[in-house]
């Protein structure tokens, strides 16, 4: 077996999706369905951010599709005045893959949660990322199962006491960004639900990226895991904890008080005053090792929480390549059904 | 048309058409004319028996015989050499009239080693021809399969069969001496020696095989020549040694007018999907995961991307059907292919397709179960899984092909139902027809059905303002297919219960009751052709009902009992859900209904439940198709019981 160079050009994530004739507003993206999340749910914030953000893309609404799995966040498509499918638990990436392969003229978004994407649907997630299907995956991470009323999830911290773990959870949690980078995702970002500007910026870059984009969104569940991300929402705490990375920029935070520097094979946080400016790491979203090391600065205790775009590289997308194979085959050989059915060896019986 | 099957009792073929011996110019010895012959090639799974059988089949097809084939191979790619589990065989039935099965028992058994002999000898009727490769009958190989003594040395075989001992490996190596090929490589061509010998015995044309070998080994000309030489050596061995006093001829069959080719079930199924794409004008997207015995559908379709076919080998069975459903949602013809264990994994997505009412073809090439079961053997035990194997009331359409070539039509029919009724359709093939082959009367393109579909383009609500995704066609009860990208029809679908019409989420008790019944009514109302009854005398009081791959053995058994003067009617079901509208009337017309199945009575259960018919269930689950002779006995007993 030999590899075939498909020779595909690198193009933006939205190339091929028809653009709208008129400017759009956020309300154009609100469906007629009543939103039924619990009061105070972080999902509202994300929904509003997405509805405000989509008009800036200037796409025809009918060419946008939201596909979701099961869980609180997966109700998302019902509230969007686009096409949408609320599918089954964990399978949204698989369904969206078929849709994206069949339809180059669609902007396809997957909405999923920590249980949906990382537990029951973990296999589909990593395979979608490695294939680099042109999908934008919004992973709402609230570190709990909400719709089933409060069991621990694959991102819950060890020892977490929940309905199903009265003596504490035994599971070691996933770091979704590390997982995605391990699967060689071409785009990985993270945002916090309450940071609308930061979330919108990650969404913008994700939309422009051609290929799979995984965006982890820390999202508060006020009923079953309230306050999970509170330390990131207090201004003083956030300044010490949130490290927002920008491609090409030195990685500093806390109004410059802290910097990220190299330490062994990984990274560490230092007081800026203690290090030479030359030692401050400059973010490079094309450097997989750097992206991975950044993801390891974040643990469940949120002592340091990296946000922004960890990784953003161009690689041929699966769906573009799949369509290119079909087009090449069509160009090479006419679709002669009669010839196919007859094959090489026929014989004729006379009447 | 002949409506008879030979008895296959006499050596080398059936006795009733055996003509007087005669000689032919250029050939020595006696030539006997036969109406049909069953040959079984058996050897180690590394011996190339499938290829050998396949080539003989092509020769028979090229000669114009009717034919049917049945490969039988182990699940292991290479079981330990020379052992019983490693035996691979290929059975071929060819005739001068239309035949229905690969044959119950071989007239000729070619055994390449002691394991092949031991595993197959019990199937060879007394007086049958046995050709053995003596080179493999070493003490070590004999012990491996439990022979205390060499069965070729005592009289046990020669008393019962016409035994031809041929040192095939030695002769092949000898024939290839001048080629410079190593002993091991040369020995590998012994299957072509066997093919050459059999081709001589049955007066087969040889040009096709020589051409095939040169093409297959085009990149290794020395190997190609070695195989051609071995093939010719086998032929010449028959011609010169005089140990074969008699050769046999089977004249071309008088089949219906038209152009034929040989085809396996999986290939015909793949072609049916290609044709369905062309006839519907839709791209075909196959989302699938490798599984025996369905993988060849993926292999075949992946060769035909020029027809607008996308094949997606997913990370698992669930992703395969997910991708297919996603593609259907986008306006393609979504297809997934698998076997029973895969259907189990796909159940939840089939349910989603039932709820979202999107077209989807789910191909189940059934194999022995439960669990991993018998991966390479056949069974029909997924009917109830197809029918009921999902949570909730989740009706789907079910169709089944009855022979290898019929897989083409079954695939087209599955596409028709899926597209017209916006429903998943389960297509139940099985290992026997998937790998078996037969001549196929190739249809003219003008005979193929038009499968064109119309997508929704306009708002359809009563006030004409909005789009209601669950407003139905009053005749088919199908909902509109509005694909993303259609302006003004933005809507959301999913697995939650839908309000009738608007398709909004609804937990209303009365609505759920209504929708459950509506989905059932839609499937029940699918238009399917009436089932036809084959009863040549019109006097039958016993009806035999079958489905799927048992068509051949049941049909052959019916011919046999009719020949004995016992009338019997045969009805074979293409549609398992819904059943044909006339099925109840047909069942009621007969005193007794017999239902043979390769399961424990799944169709019989459905017929009993739906029609209150006291069906006699005859079942067998040995991983092999029914034999015509056993069904003959079953039917004869029932018919005699009725007439007493």
| Predicted pLDDT at A349 | 84
Query: Could you give the angle at which helices A122-131 and B317-329 cross, rounded to 10 degrees?
Result: 70
> Which of A33, A87, A338 is opposite residue B504, by nearest beta carbon?
A33
pLDDT at B309 over 60: yes
Q: Is A117 within 8 Å of chain B by CB?
A: no
pLDDT average, residue stretch A59-69:
98
Q: How many C-beta atoms surround the C-beta of residue B588 within 10 A?
A: 12
How far is B302 from chain A, CA to nearest CA, in Å?
10
> Which of A61, A97, A345 is opposite residue B61, by nearest beta carbon?
A345
pLDDT at B312 over 60: yes
pLDDT band at B618 (very low <50, low <70, confident <90, very high): very high
| Predicted pLDDT at B14 | 41
Q: What is the pLDDT of residues A232-267, one digit of tens each?
A: 999 999 999 999 999 999 999 999 999 999 999 999
How far is B324 from chain A, CA to nearest CA, in Å?
6
Mutation choice for B interface testing from A17, A18, A95 by most B CBs within 10 A:
A95
Q: Do B260 and A348 touch (CB under 8 A)?
A: yes
pLDDT at B15 over 50: no
| Predicted pLDDT at A1 | 42
Q: What is the DSSP letter of A280?
A: B
Instruction: Return d(Cα A121, Cα A92) in angstroms, integer.
Output: 8
Instruction: Return d(Cα B604, Cα B380) in angstroms, integer.
Output: 12
> Which of A88, A338, A342 is opposite residue B495, by nearest beta carbon?
A88
| Residues of chain A numbered 15-74 and touching chain B (CB < 8 Å) | 18, 31, 33, 60-63, 65, 67-68, 70
- Identify the residue whose tokens are 């029918």: B387
Instruction: Return d(Cα B314, Cα A130) in angstroms, integer.
Output: 12
Q: Is A96 within 8 Å of chain B by CB?
A: yes
pLDDT average, residue stretch A196-205:
97
Q: Is A337 within 8 Å of chain B by CB?
A: yes
Element (H, E) at A138: strand A136-141
User: For the whole model, what pTM was predicted?
Assistant: 0.92
Q: Do B330 and A102 touch (CB under 8 A)?
A: yes
pLDDT average, residue stretch A139-167:
96
**B306 vs A contacts (CB less than 8 Å):** 326, 329-330, 332-335
| Predicted pLDDT at A351 | 67
pLDDT average, residue stretch A213-219:
98
Q: Do A83 and B306 touch (CB under 8 A)?
A: no
**B315 vs A contacts (CB less than 8 Å):** 123-124, 127
Q: What is the pLDDT of residues B253-274, one digit of tens each?
A: 988 899 999 999 999 999 999 9
> Which of B260, B283, B443 is opposite residue A347, by nearest beta carbon?
B260
Residue A86 and residue A68 in contact, taking contact as beta carbons nearer than 8 Å:
yes
Q: What is the pLDDT of residues A261-308, one digit of tens each?
A: 999 999 999 999 999 999 999 999 999 999 999 999 988 899 999 999
Q: Do A95 and B492 touch (CB under 8 A)?
A: no
pLDDT band at B79 (very low <50, low <70, confident <90, very high): confident
Among B433, B270, B445, smallest CA distance to B361 is for B270
Q: Do A127 and B329 touch (CB under 8 A)?
A: no
**HEC profile for B367-401?**
CECCCCCECCCCCCCCHHHHHHCCCCCCCCEEECC
What values do phi and psi take at B549, rounded to 5? Answer: -70, -5
| Predicted pLDDT at A13 | 87
Q: What is the ipTM of this complex?
A: 0.96
pLDDT average, residue stretch B336-350:
98
Which residues make beta-bridge pairs with B286?
A: B311, B335
Residue B427 and residue B364 in contact, taking contact as beta carbons nearer than 8 Å:
yes
pLDDT band at B23 (very low <50, low <70, confident <90, very high): very low
Question: Residue B289: is it exposed, middle or buried by C-beta count within 10 angstroms (0-12/13-18/19+)?
Answer: buried
| Predicted pLDDT at B28 | 62
Q: Do B257 and A335 touch (CB under 8 A)?
A: no
pLDDT at B76 over 90: no
Q: Is A133 within 8 Å of chain B by CB?
A: no
Instruction: Return d(Cα A158, Cα A174) in angstroms, integer.
Output: 11
pLDDT average, residue stretch B540-549:
98
Mutation choice for A interface testing from B57, B345, B490, B505 by most A CBs within 10 A:
B490
Quick one: closest CA in A to B308, which residue?
A326
Range in A326-330, B252-256, B473-477 the model is least confident about:
B252-256
In this prediction, what percent of chain A has a pLDDT beyond 70?
97
**A93 vs B contacts (CB less than 8 Å):** 319
**B455 vs A contacts (CB less than 8 Å):** none
Mutation choice for B interface testing from A125, A133, A349, A350 by most B CBs within 10 A:
A349
**B1 vs A contacts (CB less than 8 Å):** none
Instruction: Return d(Cα B260, Cα B474) in angstroms, integer.
Output: 42
| Predicted pLDDT at B242 | 80
């Amino acid at each position: 077996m030999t590899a075939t160079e498909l020779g595909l050009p690198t193009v933006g994530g939205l190339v091929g999706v028809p653009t709208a004739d008129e400017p759009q507003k956020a309300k154009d993206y609100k469906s007629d369905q009543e939103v039924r999340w619990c009061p105070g749910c972080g999902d509202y914030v994300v929904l509003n951010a997405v509805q405000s953000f989509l008009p800036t893309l200037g796409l025809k609404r009918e060419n946008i599709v939201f596909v979701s799995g099961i869980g609180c966040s997966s109700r998302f498509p019902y509230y969007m005045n686009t096409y949408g499918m609320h599918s089954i638990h964990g399978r949204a990436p698989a369904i969206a893959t078929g849709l994206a392969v069949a339809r180059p003229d669609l902007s396809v978004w997957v909405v999923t949660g920590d249980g949906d994407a990382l537990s029951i649907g973990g296999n589909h997630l990593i395979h979608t990322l490695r294939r680099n299907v042109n999908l934008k995956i919004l992973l709402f991470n609230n570190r709990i199962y909400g719709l089933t009323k409060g069991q621990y999830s694959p991102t819950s911290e060890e020892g977490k006491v929940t309905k199903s773990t009265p003596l504490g959870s035994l599971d070691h949690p996933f770091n979704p960004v590390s997982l995605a980078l391990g699967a060689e995702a071409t785009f990985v970002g993270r945002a916090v639900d309450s940071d609308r500007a930061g979330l919108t910026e990650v969404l913008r870059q994700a939309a422009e990226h051609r290929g799979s984009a995984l965006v982890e969104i820390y999202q508060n569940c006020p009923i079953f895991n309230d306050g999970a991300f509170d330390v990131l929402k207090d201004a003083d705490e956030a300044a010490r904890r949130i490290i927002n990375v920008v491609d090409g920029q030195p990685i500093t935070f806390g109004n410059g008080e802290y910097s990220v520097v190299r330490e062994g094979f990984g990274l560490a946080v230092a007081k800026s005053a203690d290090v030479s400016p030359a030692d401050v790491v400059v973010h490079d979203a094309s450097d997989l090792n750097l992206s991975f090391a950044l993801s390891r600065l974040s643990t469940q205790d949120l002592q340091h929480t990296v946000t922004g775009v960890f990784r953003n590289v161009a690689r041929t997308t699966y769906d573009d390549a799949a369509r290119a194979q079909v087009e090449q085959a069509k160009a090479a050989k006419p679709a002669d059904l009669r010839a196919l059915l007859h094959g090489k060896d026929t014989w004729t019986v006379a009447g | 048309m002949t409506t008879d099957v030979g008895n296959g009792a006499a050596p080398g073929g059936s006795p009733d058409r055996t003509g007087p011996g005669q000689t032919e110019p250029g050939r020595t010895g006696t030539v006997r004319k036969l109406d049909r012959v069953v040959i079984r090639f058996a050897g180690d799974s590394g011996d190339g028996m499938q290829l050998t059988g396949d080539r003989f089949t092509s020769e028979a097809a090229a000669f114009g015989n009717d034919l049917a084939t049945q490969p039988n191979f182990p699940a292991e790619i290479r079981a330990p050499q020379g052992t019983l589990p490693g035996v691979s065989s290929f059975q071929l039935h060819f005739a001068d009239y239309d035949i229905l099965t690969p044959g119950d028992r071989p007239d000729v058994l070619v055994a390449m080693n002691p394991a092949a002999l031991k595993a197959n000898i019990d199937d060879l009727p007394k007086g049958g021809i046995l050709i053995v490769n003596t080179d493999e009958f070493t003490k070590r190989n004999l012990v491996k399969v439990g022979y205390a003594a060499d069965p070729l040395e005592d009289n046990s075989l020669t008393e019962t069969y016409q035994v031809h001992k041929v040192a095939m490996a030695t002769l092949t190596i000898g024939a290839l001496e001048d080629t410079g090929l190593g002993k091991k490589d040369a020995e590998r061509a012994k299957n072509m020696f066997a093919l050459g010998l059999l081709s001589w015995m049955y007066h087969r044309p040889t040009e096709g095989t020589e051409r095939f070998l040169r093409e297959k080994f085009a990149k290794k000309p020395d190997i190609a020549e070695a195989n051609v030489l071995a093939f010719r050596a086998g032929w010449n061995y028959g011609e010169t040694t005089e140990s074969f006093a008699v050769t046999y001829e089977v004249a071309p069959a008088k089949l219906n007018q038209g152009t034929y080719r040989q085809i396996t079930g999986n290939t015909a199924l793949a072609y049916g999907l290609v044709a369905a794409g062309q006839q519907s004008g839709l791209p075909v997207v196959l989302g699938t995961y490798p599984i025996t015995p369905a993988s060849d559908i993926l292999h075949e379709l992946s060769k035909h991307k020029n027809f607008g076919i996308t094949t997606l080998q997913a990370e698992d069975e669930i992703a395969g059907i997910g991708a297919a459903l996603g593609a259907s949602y986008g306006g393609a013809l979504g297809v997934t292919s698998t076997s029973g264990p895969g259907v189990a994994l796909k159940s939840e997505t089939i349910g989603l397709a039932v709820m979202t009412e999107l077209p989807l073809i789910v191909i189940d090439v059934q194999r022995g179960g439960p669990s991993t079961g018998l991966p390479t053997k056949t069974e029909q035990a997924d009917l109830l899984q197809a029918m009921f194997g999902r949570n909730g009331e989740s009706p789907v359409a079910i169709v089944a092909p009855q022979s290898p070539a019929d897989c083409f039509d079954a695939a087209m029919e599955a596409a028709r139902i899926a597209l017209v009724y916006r429903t998943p359709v389960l297509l139940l093939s099985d290992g026997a027809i998937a790998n078996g082959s037969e001549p196929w009367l190739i249809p003219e393109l003008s005979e193929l059905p038009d499968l064109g579909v119309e997508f929704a383009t306009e708002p359809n609500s009563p006030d004409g303002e909005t789009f209601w995704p669950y407003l139905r066609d009053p005749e088919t009860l199908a909902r509109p297919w509005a694909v993303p990208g259609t302006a003004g029809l933005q809507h959301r679908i999913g697995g939650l219960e839908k309000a009738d019409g608007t398709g909004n989420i609804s937990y209303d008790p009365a609505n759920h009751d209504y929708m459950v019944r509506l989905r059932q009514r839609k499937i029940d109302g699918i238009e399917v052709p009436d089932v036809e009854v084959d009863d040549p005398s019109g006097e039958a009081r016993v009806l035999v009902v079958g489905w799927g791959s048992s068509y051949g053995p049941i049909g052959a058994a019916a011919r046999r009992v009719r020949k004995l003067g016992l009338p019997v009617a045969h009805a074979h079901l293409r549609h398992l859900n819904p059943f044909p509208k006339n099925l109840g009337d047909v069942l009621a017309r007969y005193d007794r209904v017999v239902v043979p199945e390769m399961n424990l009575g799944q169709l019989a259960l459905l017929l009993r439940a739906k029609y209150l018919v006291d069906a006699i269930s005859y079942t067998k689950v040995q991983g092999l198709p029914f034999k015509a002779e056993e069904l003959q006995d079953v039917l004869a007993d029932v018919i005699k019981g009725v007439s007493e």
